[in-house]
Chain A
Amino acid sequence: MLSSAIGPTEIVVATDVVPPGLQLAPLLVLLPLVGAAILLLAGRRSDRWGAWFGVATSAGAFAVAVAVVVTMLGLPAEERVVDHRLFDWISAGGLDVAVGMRIDPLSMTFVLLVTFVGTLIHVYAVAYMAHDQDRRRFFAYLNLFVAAMLILVLADSFLLLFVGWEGVGLASYLLIGFWNHRRDYAVAAKKAFVMNRIGDLGLIAALMLMFATFGAVDFATVFEQAPAADVALLTATGLALLVAACGKSAQFPLQAWLGDAMAGPTPVSALIHAATMVTAGVYLVVRSAPIFEGAPTAQLVVVIVGGVTLLFGAIVGCAKDDIKKALAASTMSQIGYMILAAGLGPIGYAFAIFHLVTHGFFKAGMFLGAGSVMHGMGDEVNMRRFGALRTSMKVTWITFGLGWLAILGVPPFSGFWSKDKIIEAAFVPVDGEPWRAWVFGGVALLGAGITAFYMSRLFFMTFHGERRWNDGSGDEHGRGPRDGVVQHPHESPRLMTVPMIVLAVGSVALGGLLAFGDGFVHWLEPVTGHAAHEDPVLPVWLIITLTLVLVALGVLLAWRRYVTTRVPVAVPRGSVLTRAARRDLYQDDVNEAVVMRPGQYLTRSLVYADRQMVDGGWMGLAGLVGSIGERVRGMQNGFVRSYAAIMLAGLLVVIAVVLALSGGADATDALTGPTS
């Protein structure tokens, strides 16, 4: 659908004329929002139909999205960027913000991804959460998330984007802590929430800077004036936006929350913490392209953050035994690729979004596969207790395997088309800084190799090798452990496997389909602009070959270590690096030592100062008044005559003072009068 021959186009300025087909767009947000409201307000009454109602609103939003995209495809490329202004929101002095929707290829790509993957995961969750008492609340939160995410991507101003940004943060918090009766889950939710607040501060700072610089926060004005703005201000704004992106997308150094966020139900991990919400940071960077274009330093920092996170997540992924946490580390690493691409400038924007879309499919598919494994294995997540599941869970094995091939970047699966382009783009030289191409290209290349290793490790440990769970049969076959919970792995119901199959099909074909004739890149061109083709420092065929060789090496190594070698059920001690990676490279310890403990010390000393100085001062004053009152009380002795004596004495004092002040002579005059 995207392969129609569109010529290269420059960035298109948004029009205010809304074509009839695009006027449906507000329904995109309204449907899931109303769904969430109904489910939350109806309470227990909606227990029976709540789940399917949630599916219906999400599917309805997807249908609207398809209608809008079809309309958009019917327009020439120059008319595909539309600002649909809905109503005035904030009108205060110099600030004038309207609620409106920016409908363009970029936002609609996100809308399609969110509503399509979201609907599939809603369907999956109907079966996955079938036995949960609070299923209705779960679907209400999922709908809330979809609505907030659509606000985020459809907003036409940074302020409205911020509303969606907070909305997805709230939904994420509610869903991570969905089983909040478990203390560690509730703590994980709080951790995610607090770390996201740091990112939000970045976004607020960016909003303030924009208002100070441009006097507006809507995309149209900001992007129009950005090229003429001061570089230092643009750099500050860009860095503030990057902080926001780091918080939401779990990028270094704000990445610590994502692993713990796996406490949420698996559909949540698939939708929010793999496919959509965590990629909002990438969206923010690509959307703010005009700001980053004017701030090369900020762009460089974006690339560095992406590169560091890419390796960080990959290394952590190599050591995790919890299947969901290993996938979370992989998500972090893959988003590192996207951020890196987004920092490369126009040559990277389209591929960042491209990888985001394919990643949304294959990673969501793999998370659903992990959920299916957990479903069959009694909620076991330790991969050392898996093994040989390919026989008992065929559909899960095949769909997961397709996702695995996609993330490895094996041609012709989806990941190859997007990830390989990012590696190529990283190798493109930058004028004046020849080291950049080699460093970032090398990092991206190395990341691909490590990715192959840890994803193969995950895949092999789960589905291949020998059985490491107790099947309850004793040791008659002479293998497999006899300790641990007795497991009866079984394939998941249709409702769960069908979404997995659909996502697996996407993992196989989507990349090639979108890459065909550079269709996806042309589709995004009205937003990202046309990037002139530049040759990387190495020939393209060599980069592809090197990548594939590294990937093959990674797979081979994983095969040797986790299939042909016996995997111990007990966790081996491991090397220094393994132990560090198991502990997330000590990210929590660093955060605790650098931020948390000084922060606690600061708050404690503030509390102490408050008690001692502020409270102490006022309490002391009150005590002083009280003790004076205590003394003075003795004067109220009940004897009328002593009161009278005091009154008389007071009167005499008053008279004496009056006489003294007015001067003796005058006073005598006043008494005796002028007649004398």
Chain B
Amino acid sequence: MELSNYLYLAAILFAIGATTVLLRRNAIIVFMGVELMLNATNLAFVTFARIHGDLTGQVVAFFVMVVAAAEVVVGLAIIVAIFRTRRSASVDDVNLLKN
């Protein structure tokens, strides 16, 4: 199969993730969008590794996974803390840090 199809898939996934991040208000859903974007990037990395025939892209994909895991932990903790104080998981309600 043409390897560039994987790249198109990655681009579509990235676009879906980005749209989710931009359009949804629920912090959990936004988070899922972020994860989708990260995984789209991973797919692109692995594909490129395959195209170029070296392992660099695959190694970077592992790094991204590790960072994504850490980010999920911290991010979910923050969301839970905010939900406890404000009884809301909407990212638009968290807007004190402005101007």
Enumerate chain A interface residues (CB-CB to B < 8 A).
633-634, 636-641, 644-645, 648, 671-676
Contacts and interface: CB of A to CB of B under 8 A. Distances in A.
A673 B98 contact: no
Contacts of B7: 671
Given A644-B22, A672-B51, A673-B52, A638 B4 contact: no
The 3 closest A-B pairs by CB, nearest first: A638-B95, A638-B98, A673-B51
Given A671-B7, A673-B52, A675-B3, A648 B96 contact: no
B69 to A, nearest CB: 21
Given A637-B98, A638-B96, A648 B48 contact: no
A644 B30 CA distance: 11
Given A639-B95, A673-B48, 8 more contacts: A633-B99, A638-B94, A640-B91, A641-B22, A641-B91, A673-B51, A673-B52, A675-B51
A673 B22 CA distance: 32
Contacts of A674: 52
A671 B52 CA distance: 10
Interface string B63-99: 0000000000000000000000000000110111111
Interface string B16-33: 001001110100001000
A648 B98 contact: no
B interface bracket (residues with beta carbon within 8 Å of A): 20 to 34
Contact of A645 (B3, B22, B98): B22
A674 B50 CA distance: 11
Contacts of A644: 21-22
A638 to B, nearest CB: 3
B91 to A, nearest CB: 5
A359 to B, nearest CB: 81
A676 B4 CA distance: 9
A309 B92 CA distance: 90
A638 B97 contact: yes
B71 to A, nearest CB: 14
Contacts of A645: 22
Nearest to B19: A648
A189 B30 CA distance: 80
Contacts of A676: 4
Interface of B: 3-4, 7, 18, 21-23, 25, 30, 48, 51-52, 91-92, 94-99
Contact of A672 (B4, B21, B94): B4
B86 to A, nearest CB: 14
A281 B94 CA distance: 83
A674 B54 CA distance: 13
25 contacts: A634-B99, A636-B97, A636-B99, A637-B98, A637-B99, A638-B94, A638-B97, A638-B98, A638-B99, A640-B92, A640-B95, A641-B21, A641-B25, A641-B30, A641-B91, A644-B21, A645-B22, A648-B18, A648-B22, A671-B4, A671-B7, A672-B4, A674-B52, A675-B3, A676-B4
B60 to A, nearest CB: 16
A641 B18 contact: no
A633 B97 CA distance: 12
A672 B7 CA distance: 9
Contacts of B21: 641, 644
A633 B4 CA distance: 43
B90 to A, nearest CB: 10
A645 B30 CA distance: 13
A639 B92 contact: yes
A672 B50 CA distance: 11
Nearest to B51: A673
A673 B4 CA distance: 9
Nearest to B37: A648
B58 to A, nearest CB: 15
A637 B92 CA distance: 10
A638 B92 CA distance: 8
A639 B94 CA distance: 7
A655 to B, nearest CB: 12
Contacts of A673: 3, 48, 51-52
Contacts of B22: 641, 644-645, 648
Contacts of A634: 99
Given A634-B99, A672-B4, A640 B51 contact: no
A347 to B, nearest CB: 89
Contacts of A637: 95, 98-99
A248 to B, nearest CB: 67
B3 to A, nearest CB: 7
Contacts of A633: 99
A675 B52 CA distance: 8
Nearest to B92: A639
A441 B28 CA distance: 111
Contacts of B3: 673, 675
Nearest to B24: A641
Nearest to A673: B51
Nearest to A642: B22
Contacts of B4: 671-672, 676
B94 A640 contact: yes
Nearest to B25: A641
B44 to A, nearest CB: 10
B59 to A, nearest CB: 18
B92 to A, nearest CB: 6
B79 to A, nearest CB: 12
Nearest to A644: B21
B52 to A, nearest CB: 6
Contacts of B94: 638, 640
Contact of B92 (A636, A641, A675): A641
A675 to B, nearest CB: 6
Nearest to B33: A644
